[in-house]
Structure 1
Amino acid sequence: MSFVVDASALVYANIANEDAAARLRYRLRDETVHATHLVGAGLGNVLRRHVVRGTMTADHGAAVLRHAPGSLSIDTP
């Protein structure tokens, strides 16, 4: 099965400690994921908002930005 993901969902999967986030991480790992070619820019923007709001540290945001795209197989059109 495949599904479309946006940057907010990727960040949620990487930072939330909830059952829904765990289920999303499982799907991201085991299913085909599609995203726009701008998902990387969106990911940076969402992470920046979390850092500015103080809901994550800059170091944590940078780590998510470095590792999230590389750990996923995302098909872009």
Structure 2
Amino acid sequence: MPIVVNVDVMMARRKMSLTELAEKVDLTLANLSILKTGKAKAIRFSTLESLCNALDCQPGDLLEYVPETAEKQTIG
């Protein structure tokens, strides 16, 4: 998918665990894990806002556009 979710990167930079972030943004561990692993198909703006607030970052720090051709070159 051309949109890459970098929640795990920001969590590492902030030295924050999945459990701690889930509590701060009021998401289940399962839903946060789906988002973190890039398997989510959508995200609510309210969730994005909560993540940005908890991780002290901008939406662009969490979401990245990677063209499919570049993605395929990296993988294959």
TM-score w.r.t. structure 2 length? 0.29
Max Rg structure? 2
Higher relative contact order (CA 8 A, sep 6+): 2
TM-score by length of 1: 0.29
